[in-house]
Amino acid sequence: MSLELSCVVGERGVDLALEVHSGETLAVLGPNGSGKSTALGVVAGLVTPDAGRVVLDGRVLTDVGPGRSGVRVAPHARRTALLGQEPLLFPHLDALENVAFGPRSAGAPRATARRDARRWLDEVGVSELSARRPGQLSGGQAQRVAVARALAAEPALLMLDEPLAALDVAVLPALRQTLRRVLAERTAIVVTHDPLDALLLADRVVVLADGRVVEQGPSADVLSRPRSPFAARLAGLNLVAGTWRDGSVETAEGLRVHGLVVGDPPAAGERAIATFRPAAVAVYREAVEGSPRNAFEVTITEIEPLADLVRVHAGPLHADVTVQAAAELDLVTGLVATFSVKATEVAVYRAA
């Protein structure tokens, strides 16, 4: 066990617990305001929870709340490095001195700190930029230096808060590969909105919603069989939750969804999930008949272009259709239409 976090922050409606094992990278997913940054803040010692406990490598960093010891280790003494969206390189120091800052603060002699800094700059592939001031670096370069700086501080836990969110898409693949390399075997938490980050960088995923953990598991499992609306949206899937009855998922609204059962079949009356790709949904103006198909009568709420397709939203469901199809059907917001999906395109599994 490397990191143990449990915290209640009433003001932000956060009440969650999570763990990160030694050498593991955990991706934290969730919509804005779901408590991701608050959780990182509690671990970093920047946010004091109303009640909570943070233990890193057996050392108690925070232990507050009724009947607790009241331990609150200062942020600089926690050995938790936090890297955000913006690199925030110190503007008055060059890249090398920025990276050497952590080792220097830990008491390393100047020469040793610089040698370390060079090694870390090399590790993230920007050794040739060591003499540059932050103002002379591109966004991607600056974020690489910031990664090197965080690593050079040799934190017991590295926390990345949407590290790629503010960067140009052109530099993302290379930087993602770099992160993948430096995060391997390292205890880390990555907050992200990108399912690719979760798959490539993290071993495990935790999904937060409204300040609580709603779903967790190995990255690939969570993204291929999401159980929360947010994870489904990230994975680009339609999600219908309901109760397993008579070989179909029955929703609260009385909708029945048939599909192929994945894994252990749900028991009758148990909560179950059905997911399907938007591209597998066909859209009709009138009701359709035919047993292999699931048909839902919906009201179109939004139509948006999506690359060479058109995404048709109807409440929580969406369908991707070709531009021609959208034009022929004359789809407009407010239209009542039928979404139809073959049972063979729907995955059904237990909700827990």
Q: Which residues bind another protein (CB under 8 A)?
A: 44, 46, 74-77, 79-82, 88, 90-92, 101-102, 105-106, 149-150, 153, 155
Cβ at position 116, least distance to another protein in Å: 13
Q: For the purposes of burial, counting CB atoms within 10 Å of the CB of 156, is it exposed (0-12), middle (13-18) or buried (19 or more)?
A: middle
Cβ at position 225, least distance to another protein in Å: 36
- Residue tagged 């994975």 (tokens): 235
Cβ at position 332, least distance to another protein in Å: 42
Q: Which is nearer to another protein, 109 or 269 (CB)?
A: 109
Q: Which is nearer to another protein, 70 or 107 (CB)?
A: 107
In single-letter form, the type of residue at position 63 comes to: D
CA dihedral 288, 294, 299, 305 (to 10 degrees): -100
Are 319 and 339 a contacting pair, CB within 8 Å?
A: yes
Cβ at position 41, least distance to another protein in Å: 10
Phi, psi of 179 (to 5 degrees): -60, -40
Q: Which is nearer to another protein, 23 or 75 (CB)?
A: 75
Measured CA to CA, the distance from residue 145 to residue 290 in angstroms comes to 59
Q: Which is nearer to another protein, 155 or 266 (CB)?
A: 155
Cβ at position 81, least distance to another protein in Å: 5
Q: Which is nearer to another protein, 187 or 294 (CB)?
A: 187
Cβ at position 103, least distance to another protein in Å: 9
Cβ at position 76, least distance to another protein in Å: 4
Instruction: Find, among 246, 242, 268, 267, the residue nearest to 255 by Cα.
Output: 242
Measured CA to CA, the distance from residue 325 to residue 309 in angstroms comes to 10
Measured CA to CA, the distance from residue 151 to residue 117 in angstroms comes to 9
In single-letter form, the type of residue at position 154 comes to: E
With b for 16 or more beta-carbon neighbours within 10 A and e for fewer, the 158-197 pattern comes to bbbbbbbeebeeebbeebbebbeebbeeebbbbbbbbbeb
Are 19 and 1 a contacting pair, CB within 8 Å?
A: yes
Cβ at position 120, least distance to another protein in Å: 12
Cβ at position 327, least distance to another protein in Å: 43
As given in the structure block, the two tokens for residue 284 are: 């009709």
Q: Which is nearer to another protein, 153 or 321 (CB)?
A: 153
3-state class (DSSP) for residue 337: strand
> Other CB atoms closer than 10 Å to residue 351's CB: what's the count?
16
Q: Which is nearer to another protein, 82 or 95 (CB)?
A: 82
Q: Which is nearer to another protein, 8 or 151 (CB)?
A: 151
With b for 16 or more beta-carbon neighbours within 10 A and e for fewer, the 100-123 pattern comes to bbbbbeeebeeeebbebbbebbeb
Q: Which is nearer to another protein, 135 or 292 (CB)?
A: 135
Measured CA to CA, the distance from residue 301 to residue 314 in angstroms comes to 5
